[in-house]
Amino acid sequence: MSSPSSLRVGGLRPGSLSDWEGRLAAVIYTSGCNFRCPFCHNPELLDAAGGEEVEARDILDRLSGELSWLDGVVITGGEPTLQEGLEGFLTQLREEGLEVKLDTNGSRPEVLEGLLNRGLLDRVAMDVKSSPGGYPRAVGRELEIETIGRSIRLLLESPVEVEFRTTVVPGLVGEEEGEEIGSWVEGASRFSLQGFRPGTCLAEAMNRLAPPSPELMERLRRIIGKHVPACRIAGG
C-alpha cells in the first residue's frame, strides 16, 4: 500500500540545468499519466504501476551528495498530480529547504489548487496541448475541457513563477490553434514553444512525421506573442 508521502517513480536525474531555467535541479519522473498524447516522447512513464514506490526520504538519501549544491527539485512525469502521496512528498522536500517546480498537464486543478494554497510550489510549468477544440486529438481521449481552463486560471492568478508551454506538432497545432491558445493564456508572464521531435513517440506513425518548420515556429511565436509578450521558442 502506498504511504501518504511516497511516489511511483520511473526515473531520477541528480542534476539538470535544462529543466528549470537558471537553476541546477534534480529531476524526478513519476509514473502514470491520464493522457495518451500520440506524440508523447516518454511512453515508458505512462503505466501507473511502473517504476518503484519511493519515499521522499529515499530520494533525499540518493541525493545526499548533491543537496549542498542543488537549487531545487523538478517533479515531472507522467503526470505527478495523479500521485496520492504528492503533497506529503513535497512537504518533506520543503522541510529540507528545497524549492520545487511542478510540471503538469493541468488535468487535476483541485490538486494543483491544494498544492498552491499550501505553499508547496515555487514554479509550475503547464503544458497546453492544443486549442480547446483540438484537445481530444492532442491527448488521445475525450475530457472535460473546463478542467484545463480552471488550471490555467489558477496559474494566471498565482503568485508563483508560472510558464505555459506547447509542443508544436504539425497537424495538431497550427496558426488557428495558436491564436486560441494565446487567447486562453492571455496575460501570462511566460510562454514557451517547443518543436516536436520524432523518435520515441507513443504512436508509431508520429515517428515518421517531420518536425515543424522554423517558419511555422516563428509565426506561432508572433501569434501567441500578441497575448503573451514573453513568448519564446525553446532552444532558440
Q: What is the mean pLDDT of the chain?
A: 94
Say if 145 falls within a structural domain.
yes
pLDDT band at 15 (very low <50, low <70, confident <90, very high): confident
- The CATH number for 204's domain is 3.20.20.70
Q: For residue range 198-228, list pLDDT tens digits in order.
A: 999 999 999 999 999 999 999 999 999 999 9
> Does residue 200 belong to any structural domain of this protein?
yes
d(CA 163, CA 235) in angstroms, rounded, equals 15
User: Please, are residues 11 and 51 in contact by the beta-carbon 8 Å criterion?
Assistant: yes
Of 173, 184, 182, nearest to 212 (Cα)? 173
**CB-neighbour burial class of residue 215 (10 A; exposed 0-12, middle 13-18, buried 19+):** exposed
Percentage of the residues of the chain whose pLDDT score is greater than 70 = 98
Pairing of strands 25-30, 6-16: antiparallel
What confidence tier does 4 reach under pLDDT thresholds 50, 70, 90?
confident
Provide the domain count of the chain. 1
Instruction: For residue 64, give the nearest of 118, 38, 26 by alpha carbon.
Output: 26
Residues 6+ positions from 154 with CB-CB distance below 8 Å: 109, 112, 113, 116
80-108: average pLDDT: 95
Residue appearing with cell numbers 491558445: 181
Answer yes or no: is 184 within a domain: yes
- Does residue 88 belong to any structural domain of this protein? yes
pLDDT at residue 70 in the model: 86
Report if residue 15 sits inside a domain.
Answer: yes
Residues β-bridged to residue 215: none
pLDDT at 2 over 70: no
Among the ranges given (66-75, 90-99, 129-138, 179-188), the one the predictor scored with the smallest mean pLDDT:
66-75
Residue 153 lies in a domain: yes
Write down the pLDDT at residue 1.
Answer: 42
Give a yes or no: residue 1 inside a domain: no
- Percentage of the chain modeled with pLDDT above 90: 83
47 lies in a domain? yes
Q: Containing domain of residue 147, as a range?
A: 6-233
